[in-house]
Structure 1
C-alpha cells in the first residue's frame, strides 16, 4: 500500500476493466497464438472457436483483465499438446467439447433462481475483479426490534442497511406495512459469499428494496438489478464504477438496471454495444426504485 501523504501527491489513473468483446479480441489476436507457440503446436493442431472462447470468458473466469483467461487457454493447450505427443489427432476446440477438456464450468448466472421470492434483490457492485452482481437477502422472524447483518459487511455497508431499515419504518403505511411491525419482528439481512469482505454505500437501494419486498410480500422482477446510495430522506445518490456494473449486469443476462439519476451522464459514455437491448431507469428517490423494481 502507498502511504496517504505520498498518494496525495500522485495522480491516480483508473483503468476500466475489459469488456467481453475486448477479452475475445485479445484472446483471438494475442493469447491463443502465444499459447500455441509456447506449447509447440501448429494452427491445425490447436485452434479455438469464438464460441468456445466466449464460454471460457463467461464460465471459467471472473476478472477485470485477462490473466486467468490466458491460464485457461494454456490449460486447453496442454491437453491438446498431450494428445499430440500420444500420437492422436486433436479436434478443434469448440463449445461441444470444451467441458470435456476444462471440466464443468465454474461460474453460472443465478439471477433468475435467486430472485424468485420476496426479500431477494440483485444488486451491482464494483470489485478489484471488475463489476459483479451482488445478492441481498432479507428474512423476518418473530422477535423484537432487532436487525441482524451477516456476510462480512464493512462499517459503511452496515450503516447503509440501518438507513434502509429506518426509511422503510418511516414510510411503512405508504406501502401497506403495519407501522409497528418492528416491535414484533426481527429482520436478518444477508449478503452471500460470506468469505468475501464487502463494503461501500452503493448497496443502499438494494437493501431498502429487499426489506420493502419482504414486508410487502412482493417479489422483485427477476430481470432487474440496481445500485445506488440512499439517505434517510429517501434520496438516491450517485455511485462509481458505472461501466463495470453495466458490463456485469449484461453478462448476467439482466436487461433492466436501476441507477441514480445523477449517473445518467456516465451511462451515456458506455459503448453502445454494451447497452444494446438494455433498459436504464434513473431514480431520484427510493419510491422511484420500488415502483420500478417490485412486481
Structure 2
C-alpha cells in the first residue's frame, strides 16, 4: 500500500485549517476483503516489531489519540493493536480528573502511566484535554485550584503548550517515541454515528446527552484543535490529522504510521557476548546428550 503519510502530518508551527482538510479521502483499499487483508498484514508486522521492541529494550512508544466524540478512537486502537502481545502494550483512557489528580499539575496523572522501555503505551485522550476541553470550557480552570493570577493572565494556554512540548522533548531524549493522532471527523458524520448509537440497542451505552451538549461547541473545538496542533506538533513528536469519516481507511493509515515509526528505530534482538554464546553451546551439547547432562 502506497500512502503519502506526510499529507497527514501537521508541520511544526503551521496552523492547519481544519475546515479545508478532508475528513474523507479515496480509500486505500478496493474492497472489504482487501481491507481485511491489508489490516491483517499490518497487524502481523506490528506484532513482530513489538516483539523486537520488547527484546531490544531501548525505546518506548507512546501513541496518543484525540478526537471529537464518535470519531473512532476506541475502534482504531482495538483493530490496529489486536495482534500485539498484551504484555508489551498498555492502554489508558482518561476521563474527568479525580479529586486526587486535581491536586497535582495537569501532566501528573499521565506521567504515572507512561510506557516502560520495550513497550507500547496508548493514551485514549490525554493531557491534551487540558488545552482542548478546558480551553472550550475555561470554567474548569476554577476547579483546578490554580492561583488566580496564573489562570487568568491571558497566557495559560501558551504556558501549557510550552509545558507539553518540553515534556515531550524530555521523553524523546530518554528514548520514548511519541506519535499523536487527531482523528478528523466531520460534523455530519458525527451526527450519523450518534443516530446509529441511538438506533442500535447494543450501542446505546455509548451515547449520553453530554455528547449532544458538546456538539454545540463544535466551532470552538475546531479552533482549539487548530491552535493545539500548530503549537505542539514537532519534528520529533508529530501530530497526524487522519481523515476519520471512513473508519477502515483511518485504521489503515494509523497502522501504517505506527509501523513506519517502529521501522525507523532499527530495532534488533540483542546479540549474546562470546562468553554467553559459549555457555549456550555447552548447554546445547548437554541437551543433545541427556545421559551426559543429568
Q: Which has the higher helix share?
A: 2
TM-score (norm 2): 0.21
Q: Which has the higher strand share?
A: 1
Q: Compare relative contact order (CA 8 Å, sep 6+) and give the higher one, 1 or 2.
A: 2
